[in-house]
Amino acid sequence: MASGVLSQNALYKLSHIESEDDVSRQLHNIAGTLGFDFFLYAEVPGMGKQNSVTKILSNYPREWRLKYDSQNYIKIDPVMEHCEHRLVPVMWSDIEHQSARQREFMEEARGFGLVTGISFPNHWKSGDIGVLSFASRSTSDCSQAGHRLDPLTMAQGALTAAFTHDAMERLLNKKENLLRAPLTTREIECLKWIATGKTTWEISAILGISEHGVLFHIRNLMLKFNAPSRHVAVLRAMACDLL
């Protein structure tokens, strides 16, 4: 894996990015400069919240992303387990104490071209977690167990993770992402239960209303927050100190 040196302009662009698509394009460029084939940035609710990913920016193989989501692999992913509890980066080959199922998971990822990689965790003040991963299709001496990436690549990866985290938080809190209209009592109730990971059916049972009624309130929430999904509405509610 031949890594290069990031220019000041690469990180400057992340600092002044205007959209998530721009973040993705810049991470793709940075991954290539550092000698990696793939990148993934994920925002994950912290402990005590729903066990799912709320935001993904990635050029991972589409088939792997679909399988990861459909099989709910986040529950067994040893990389995400590390990032949830630790602050330091982790090389995938260095992860210890994996269960048999986790070893199978890592082997399956390799089958989709994610052979080696490194992940950088960032912990948000809300308790949520940002994870930036870089991965490669091939093995190299520096990515085998017992070896380390060179310090420059590690430092550049950590800086990129910090700037990406800052860019995503800034985009989340842009003026147009703020609440457009006051929330009703029912919308606040739905919002709080969504944040705990409850499904539409579960919320309907808790509140004693139909699933159609829950979906009505959720659609209104998304409109008021200008959010593409209920989970993004939760993140924007946190930014507004509503949760």
Give residue-wise pLDDT tens across range 49-79: 555 566 789 999 999 999 998 898 988 999 9
Q: At what angle do helices 151-172 and 230-239 cross, to 10 degrees?
A: 90
Q: For the chain, how many residues are written?
A: 243
Residues 214, 202: Cα–Cα separation, whole Å: 10
Domains and CATH numbers, the chain: 8-172 (3.30.450.80), 177-239 (1.10.10.10)
Which has more confidence, 240 or 134? 134
Residues 41, 131: Cα–Cα separation, whole Å: 6
pTM reported for the whole predicted model: 0.69
Helix (H) or strand (E) holding 148: none
Q: Which two tokens stand for residue 102?
A: 């986790």
Which has more confidence, 60 or 8? 60
- Assess whether pLDDT exceeds 80 at residue 29: yes
